[in-house]
Amino acid sequence: MITNIKDLEQYEGKTVRLQGWVANKRTGKGLVFLVLRDGSGYCQCVVSEEQVSNETFETAKRATQESSLQLSGAVIKDERQVGGYEIQVQEINILQETVDYPISNKEHGVDFLIENRHLWLRSRKQWAIMRIRNSVKYAIYTFFHERGFIQIDSPIFTGNAAEGTTTLFETDYYGQPAYLAQTGQLYGEAAAMAHGKVYTFGPTFRAEKSKTRRHLSEFWMIEPEMAFYDLDMDMDLIEDFIRYIVTDTYKNCKQELEILERDTALFENIGKKFPRITYDEAVQILRGERDVNGKNSIETLRDDLNEIAQRIGDIKEEISTREATIQQAGVKAGVKNFNQAKVDNLKNELRDLEEKQRNIPQWIDSALNFTHGDDFGGSDETVITRLFNTPIMVYKWPAAIKAFYMKRDEQDSEYVKGVDCLAPEGFGEIVGGSQREEDIDLLLARIKEHQLPEEVFNWYIDLRRYGSVPHSGFGLGFERLIMWLTNVPHIRETIPFPRYYGRLFP
RNA sequence: UCCUCCUUAGCUCAGUUGGUUAGAGCAUCUGACUGUUAAUCAGAGGGUCGUUGGUUCAAGUCCAACAGGGGGAGCCA
């Protein structure tokens, strides 16, 4: 019988049989340490020359990184180990000896790793990220199921370019043009009129030639839609939803978050009420005209700049000291190499800092000169959310920069009842939502204003023709959410096989 | 589409104002070491410096074009 590594605690002191792959190997005299992974976890397996046959010991020495094997041995409790247990090996049987596995335990560049994504998924951090992705997906289903929502699938082939703004993938659909869906929202609205509360959760496609760490061509979206919900109810739901996901992840993915070295401040602050501010207030905060918790956006940025300049000075000094050491006559090879490695690392850090040093003045400039009525850019969102330690809700947006289906504010018709939820620590937008326009005449007027083809929206307009009700919803980018929770630097790491501009394989 | 940076060993990167035979760490192989956590130490092998053209006595280094990639803007989740 085969045991999973995650279940080892049930077998302390007993002999078990494991199967998996060699994640890492270290050797000592008369000893081989194999770190085995089996998909469920990691476990160090010790092969001692004194305790096994010569044949078994030779086999252990032959086991290279990523070789597949089966082994049996006794389960020993050992607090020092990652899973808390290790195996005293008795027998090993190699299934396949791996030669020249491309990914080592040392650092690699993003491009190389993406090229080897099919193998990279085996790595520890990637393993943790995919498990969190799975856990969050399950939590999303649970959250909505517990609240009486029905999960509804929207089509992937659509005939209309929904909001008319973004570039879509065009394809041939039995001789007529069709587009890969960029949102399921309009279909969600139709389903909400059938079920009351629904949500879609599926892949969406954008053909923008974006090359940034926040964009994918194919990504997953969660889009709830609720009949008889106004904007306030929508915001309440967003807040409950985000808090539920974050809390659930903290509770169920402890080991994974540890592997990823995720700062836990987010999880400790998530119980606090999310501040709700209007777009106008957000603009004041951005321009530095209004402080948040005693912090001013512009001053914070200037402090950052000073700190960076300070650090750059320190690094340059350390580099010249170490280089002087290397230059000295009669320096031992070990000392020389050690210092050279330090210098290389420092130079890398220096490059990152100098990039920031170039960027921050632009951020300050963008913040100070922000024009009321514009949409926030990436840096603006960073500047605002840096001042908060919980997600924030920005609502009441200028109508001109939002989609045609958003309902106008009754008191202030230049604004719409839309909301963006921005994640803290500088992360930026994760949710965009709104109350929808339910009046058929107003909706028709908006479609005209936005110069959208009315014919393709006929079915959508029907929803206002027959029993129209106030309703609201929001959209959440699944990968953005995972990126925020795991704090990985690049969205490409949050999906098993990323698709983005220029990338179709593996 | 625009701005910016990069391309040197299997991987990550040094390589100064152009100047002898191209440098390191990791990985691989050999050896040393009773317990390592990305182990460490000693040694060995491993290169058409992205491609093409130009300047020069001499090009990894300077210039041009092209290709590939990173980051960002726009757009967005």
- Whether A146 and A33 map to the same domain: the answer is no
Residue A262 lies in a domain: yes
Closest nt to residue A102, judged CA to C1': B10
Distance A249 CA to B22 C1' (A): 51
pLDDT for the residue A253: 93
Domain shared by A198 and A153, yes or no: yes
The protein residue nearest nucleotide B68, judged by CA to C1', is A502
A124 and A85 belong to one structural domain: no
Return the pLDDT at A422: 94
Q: Which residues contact A125 (CB under 8 A, 6 or more apart)?
A: A259, A260, A488, A493
One domain, residues A317 and A260: no
Angle of helix A333-368 relative to helix A378-385, nearest 10 degrees? Answer: 100
**Exposure letters A55-75 (e unless 16+ CB within 10 A, then b):** ebbebbeebebbbebebbbbb
A271 falls within a domain? yes
Mean pLDDT by 10 residues, chain A (506 residues): 91 93 84 89 88 87 88 88 85 87 78 88 90 96 97 90 69 89 93 97 89 89 97 97 96 89 89 95 92 89 83 74 62 60 68 75 86 88 90 94 93 94 89 96 92 88 96 96 91 92 83
A18 and A69, same domain (yes or no): yes
Which residues have CB under 8 Å from A98's CB, separation 6+? Answer: A22, A64, A65, A66, A67, A68
Taking alpha carbons only, the member of A208, A97, A184, A77 closest to residue A500 is A208
CB-contacted nucleotides of strand B (7 Å): 1, 10-14, 24-29, 32-43, 68-77
Same-domain pairing of A129 and A188: yes
Q: Tell me what pLDDT residue A74 has.
A: 93
Q: What is the CATH number of the domain that holds A50?
A: 2.40.50.140
Q: Is the CB of A80 under 7 A from strand B?
A: yes
- Is there a single domain that holds both residue A92 and residue A124? no
With a 7 Å cutoff on the CB, does A490 touch strand B? Answer: yes
For residues A53 and A255, give the distance between their C-alpha atoms in angstroms, rounded to a whole number: 35
Residue A87 DSSP one-character state? E
Give the pLDDT score at A216: 92
Q: Does A13 share its domain with A133? A: no
Nearest-nucleotide field for A432 (CA, C1'): B77
Distance CA A224, CA A240 (A): 13
Residues 151-210 of A with CB under 7 A from strand B: 165-166, 183, 206, 208-210
In a domain, A503, yes or no: no
ipTM value, please give it. Answer: 0.84
- Beta-ladder partners of A362: none
Q: Are strands A150-151 and A170-173 parallel, antiparallel or unpaired?
A: unpaired
DSSP string, A159-182: SS-TTSSS---EEEETTEEEEE-S
Same domain, A160 and A34: no
Which positions 368-427 on chain A have a beta carbon less than 7 angstroms from any atom of strand B? 375, 377-379, 401
Flag whether A501 is in a domain: no
A237 & A132 share domain: yes
Neighbour tally for A215: CB within 10 Å: 17
- Domain with A472, as residue range(s), is 120-275+388-494
The DSSP H or E segment spanning A198 is strand A197-205
A221 found inside a domain: yes
Q: Does nucleic acid strand B have an atom less than 7 angstroms from the CB of A261?
A: no
**A407 and A347 part of one domain:** no
- The CA–C1' separation of A217 and B75, in angstroms, is 13
For residues A210 and A333, state if they share a domain. Answer: no
Which pLDDT score, from 0 to 100, does residue A169 have? 87
What was the pLDDT predicted at A26? 83
What's the domain count of chain A? 3
CATH number at residue A147: 3.30.930.10
Q: Kindly tell me the burial class for residue A184, based on how many C-beta atoms sit within 10 Å of its own C-beta (0-12, 13-18, 19 or more).
A: buried
